[in-house]
């Protein structure tokens, strides 16, 4: 096999990729809004693995949870997803639960989602925390 032609061709392809990437910024990056800071507060044998905002102008928080690897019992509780504005005041809070049940000793993850019903631009920080027991309306009257 003649390798003398392979090196110049590889260099030409790499040069096109680099020059194309350097001269044209991605449209998605140019129009993206700053991502709010996330605070994930796990506990009671449940790990909140991730939290992120879905695409669009609404504030829909999505993520996944998993059981602690050394725990095999049931996990009771729900999540509070709270949004804070740039000045630190709470602008929205929604309870949610993860979809699915943890079974046996499998290291599975389960998704959660909460629509906060506020404009995305008004949110600077999002906190996702585990709360024991079922959700009651009295929780949000404090």
pLDDT in tens, 80-96: 999 999 999 999 999 99
pLDDT tens for the chain, residues 1 to 142:
555 554 555 444 444 444 444 444 444 443 556 678 888 988 878 899 999 987 777 789 999 998 888 877 778 888 999 999 999 999 999 999 888 777 766 668 889 999 999 988 889 999 999 887 665 554 544 4
114-133 tens-digit pLDDT: 999 998 888 999 999 988 76
User: φ, ψ for residue 18 (rounded to 5)?
Assistant: -65, -45
Question: Which pairing describes strands 52-53 and 90-96: parallel, antiparallel, or unpaired?
Answer: unpaired
Q: Which two tokens stand for residue 15?
A: 């040069």
Q: Could you tell me the pTM of the whole model?
A: 0.68
Residue with tokens 């790499």: 14
CATH of 33-141, one of 2.40.50, 2.60.40, 3.30.450, 1.10.260: 2.60.40
Q: What are phi and psi of 21, to 5 degrees?
A: -70, -35
């Amino acid at each position: 096999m003649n390798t003398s032609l392979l090196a110049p061709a590889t260099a030409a392809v790499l040069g096109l990729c680099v020059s194309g990437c350097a001269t044209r910024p991605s449209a998605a990056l140019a129009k993206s809004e700053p991502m709010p800071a996330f605070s994930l507060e796990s506990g009671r044998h449940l790990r909140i693995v991730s939290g992120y905002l879905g695409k669009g102008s609404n504030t829909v928080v999505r993520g996944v949870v998993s059981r602690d690897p050394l725990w095999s019992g049931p996990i009771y509780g729900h999540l509070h997803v709270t949004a804070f504005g740039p000045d630190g005041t709470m602008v929205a809070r929604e309870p949610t639960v993860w979809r699915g049940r943890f079974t046996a000793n499998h290291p599975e993850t389960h998704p959660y989602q909460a629509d906060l019903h506020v404009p995305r631009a008004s949110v600077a920080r999002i906190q996702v925390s585990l709360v024991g027991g079922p959700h009651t309306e009295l929780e949000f009257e404090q």
